[in-house]
Structures are given as C-alpha cells and as structure tokens.
Amino acid sequence: MSIKLIKDHPILDFGHEEKKMVTFTFDNKEMKGFEDDPIAAALHANGIQVYRITPKTERPRGFFCAIGKCSSCFMIVDGVPNVRTCVTPLKAGMKVETQKGRGVLKSEEGEER
C-alpha cells in the first residue's frame, strides 16, 4: 500500500521534502510515515481507519478531533495503552496496535495491573 499525501496546495506548505521517512509497525504490519508527524496522520496516510474498539458497545473509533480531546484515537503504542495518537509524534521503530477495550497496563515484571 502506498502512502497518500497532499503534495501541492495553493496556500499551505506541508514541508514533507524536509522530513525523514521512518518505518513503524501497525498490528505487526510494517508501514512508513514521516518522523514527528502525528501517529494518526501516518496511519491515515496508510489507509488505516479503525484505531480502537470501544469497551461497552465494541464499536470502531478512528481519527476524529485531531487535538487530543475526544479519546477516539486511543491506541497501544510501544506497549502503553490509551496513547492519544493524534498528538503523539511518530518515531522510527514504534510499535502501534489497535486498542480493544480500556487497555491494560503492565508492571515492569510484565504482569497486568
């Protein structure tokens, strides 16, 4: 799958030529995105629409407010649940996973809390 980006805009300059392309994984699939772009933007550019499944109704949620206020973009990032991917910068090697339910924290020993 290729990344879809707006390249030419009559007013805005996205500056992608200056950004570094990095590799990350989403649900164990390798993907590419621009370093320091929001994780959600990289997922969106790769065609990903579902970021989490709600706890009670088991409904899919995705990119919504884009300012870190709504919780629709909660995902598990590098083993940490409830990360607001719309405001968290993408870094090389990140492991991003769809979050199902409320998310589970693990202790340093790997036990669920």
Number of H helices, E strands in the chain: 1, 8
60 pLDDT above the threshold of 70: yes
pTM of the model: 0.76
Average pLDDT, the chain: 84
Task: Confirm if 50 and 60 have CB atoms less than 8 A apart.
Answer: yes
The model's pLDDT over 23-52, given as tens digits with 9 standing for 90+, comes to 999 999 999 999 999 999 999 999 998 888
The arrangement of secondary structure in 35-97, i.e. its CATH architecture, is: Roll (3.10)
> Across-strand partners of 33?
22
Burial of 111 (0-12, 13-18, 19+ CB in 10 A): exposed
Tell me how far apart the alpha carbons of residues 102 and 32 are, in angstroms, rounded to a whole number. Answer: 27
66 pLDDT above the threshold of 90: no
